Amino acid sequence: MQNMPKGCPSGVMVRLHEYQGKQVLSSVRIPVPAGKVASTPAEAKNIAAEINKPVAVKAQVWVTGRFSAGGIKFANTPEEAEKAAQELIGAEIKGLRVEKVLVEEKLDVAQEYYAGVIVDPGMKNRSPVIIFSSKGGTGVEEIAQKYPQNVAQMPVDVSRGVRGYDALDLVLRTGLTGRTLTSVAPIVTGLYNAFVRADARAAEINPLVITKDGKVYAADCRISVDDNSVFRHPEFGIKVARETTKPHTELEEMSWRIEEGDYRGNSYLAQMIDIPIKEEGVIGYHGIGGGGAILGVDALNRAGLKIATYTDTSGNPTASKCYRIAKLILSIPGIEGYMLGGFIYANQEQWHHAHGIVKALREMVADKPGFPTLLLICGNKEEEAIQIFKEGLSDLPIRMEVYGGERVYAADFLAQRMRAMIEEYRKERRA
């Protein structure tokens, strides 16, 4: 088995939909099947009529195994395409709602290949790596295991780029020769150009096909853009430059607008539950340090509580950033409490968190008598932060407990305290 590069573990990527990826490929003259994206069945019908051939109607969702999950349907007529789009648009595939479908000409496939470019940050390469396989259609890792002789890879010197003969050499190493070799190799060069043009961290064509009439097409593709480069690509329409498995919610979009363009520390908010909240035991969770904060979530779950938000403010954010994130959390109707999960001895000055959170709590829960509020804050300026909490919130009628470094890893204790406060709060409200 070959050692495949591990794709950019330290990088954050934003995925494009297939139809967007194909627009990028087209821009570097890689042939893609004729087609357009549709948001309604009527649009799908019109596109199929324009193509005037049998078509594939493909759900635009970020999942693997789309075909076996029912996300790709074939249609011989515009009416069939309309029906297929009707079935797909609004449906859920592997938990993701389909908003758009790509309607494109159905290909008569003779051979399938794989071509990909990823950023390999490993010591060996620290560069983009091109991978080509003369077998395609499934995951390249799987192909590399079963057919190592059919897979070749090549690191790229970014200052030099990829020359035509580099691509020929790479493809030749996988066993392809003759016309196939000369048809496929330019696609490899083009894919690298697409990777550069999109500021991508990964770009794949899988499968790259040769049809029975000898034409080469990128039949499917995945392109992930480096999140730091998203601002340079308004054409992609990416609202939130963060990797996700599902479209971002409005709450997440608002949190991104707080973070976007403000590099003073980090803030991150993931909505973990449908809003409005329709069950008991859900709290707003505000972590400090994305990894350590998981401790609190696990403990809360063990205590029978759920979180509406998984949030992180760290890297020495401004008090204003902490305030805005706390205010977003506290704005969620139906939460039964707020927990600051600072499960980390942070070296950031924690008094900025304290000032931000005090302001948010004063604005949002002053009219919620007994509202459960648990604040754990540890690290630099911890004592001062605790003092700011106690002094700043002492006149609010909320139920509040404040902890510091002595409880930094007492996740279960804190979760139980949160639960106890919520139970008391519920009793009071029902009384």
Partner 1 sequence: MSYSFDEQTIKINIDRSKCPECKTKACVKGCEVYNRGILVIKDGIPTLKEGIDAKREGTECLACEEECRLRGLNAIKIDAPIPGLTEWVAKVSKM
Question: Is the Cβ–Cβ distance between 118 and 7 less than 8 Å?
Answer: yes
Nearer Cβ to partner 1 (294/319):
319
In the bound complex, what is the minimum distance in angstroms from residue 114's beta carbon to partner 1? 42
Residue 197 or 327: the one with the smaller Cβ distance to partner 1 is: 327
Nearer to partner 1, 104 or 259 (CB): 259
Nearest distance, CB of residue 312 and partner 1, angstroms: 18
Q: How far is the CB of 17 from partner 1 (least distance, A)?
A: 24
Closer Cβ to partner 1, 9 or 261, answer by number: 261
The Cα 431–Cα 423 span in angstroms is: 12
Whats the size of the chain, residue-wise?
431
Q: Which of 213, 250, 367, 406 binds partner 1 (CB under 8 A)?
A: 250
Provide the token pair at 420: 């106890």
- Residue closer to partner 1, measured from CB, 173 or 327: 327
What's the DSSP call for residue 16? P
Tell me which residue of 379, 383, 378 sits closest to 411, measured CA to CA.
Answer: 378
- Contact range with partner 1 by CB under 8 A, out of 14-22, 74-82, 335-343, 353-361: 353-361
For 102, counting Cβ atoms within 10 Å of its Cβ (0-12 exposed, 13-18 middle, 19+ buried), the class is buried
> Please, which residue, 159 or 394, has the CB nearer to partner 1?
394
Find the shortest distance in angstroms from Cβ 36 to partner 1: 31
User: What is the chain's Cα-based Rg?
Assistant: 26
Judged by CB under 8 A, the residue of 331, 380, 387, 416 near partner 1 is: 331
As beta bridge partners, residue 313 has 267
Identity of the residue, 251 or 303, whose beta carbon is nearer to partner 1 in the bound complex:
251
Taking the complex as a whole, how short is the minimal distance between the CB of residue 276 and partner 1, in angstroms? 5
Closest CA to 220 of 232, 231, 209, 235: 209
Q: What is the DSSP string of 302-332?
A: HTT-EEEEEEEEESS--HHHHHHHHHHHHTS
Nearer to partner 1, 318 or 380 (CB): 318
Ranges within 378-407 binding partner 1 (CB under 8 A):
388, 391-392
Range in contact with partner 1 (rule: CB under 8 A) among 43-51, 254-262, 285-293, 397-405: 254-262
Q: How far is the CB of 272 from partner 1 (least distance, A)?
A: 15
Other Cβ atoms closer than 10 A to 235: 11
CB-based burial of residue 3 (10 Å sphere; 0-12 exposed, 13-18 middle, 19+ buried)?
A: exposed
> Does residue 352 interact with partner 1 by CB under 8 A?
yes
Can residue 258 be called a binding residue for partner 1 (CB under 8 A)? yes
| CB closer to partner 1, 263 vs 431 | 263
Q: Is 146 exposed, middle or buried (0-12, 13-18, 19+ CB in 10 A)?
A: exposed
Give the per-residue contact string, 286-325, with partner 1 (x = CB under 8 A; - = no): --------------------------------xxxx-xx-
Residue 333 touching partner 1 (CB under 8 A):
yes
Q: List C-alpha distances in Å: 18 to 21, 63, 129, 241, 284.
A: 5, 11, 21, 17, 35
Instruction: Report how far residue 426's alpha carbon sits from residue 25's, in angstroms, rounded to the nearest whole number.
Output: 57
- Residue-wise DSSP of 82-112: HHHHHHHTT-EETTEE---EEEEEPP-EEEE
Q: How far is the CB of 329 from partner 1 (least distance, A)?
A: 11
Which residues of this chain interact with partner 1, rule CB under 8 A? 250-251, 253-254, 257-258, 262, 264, 275-276, 318-321, 323-324, 327-328, 331-333, 351-352, 355-356, 358-359, 388, 391-392
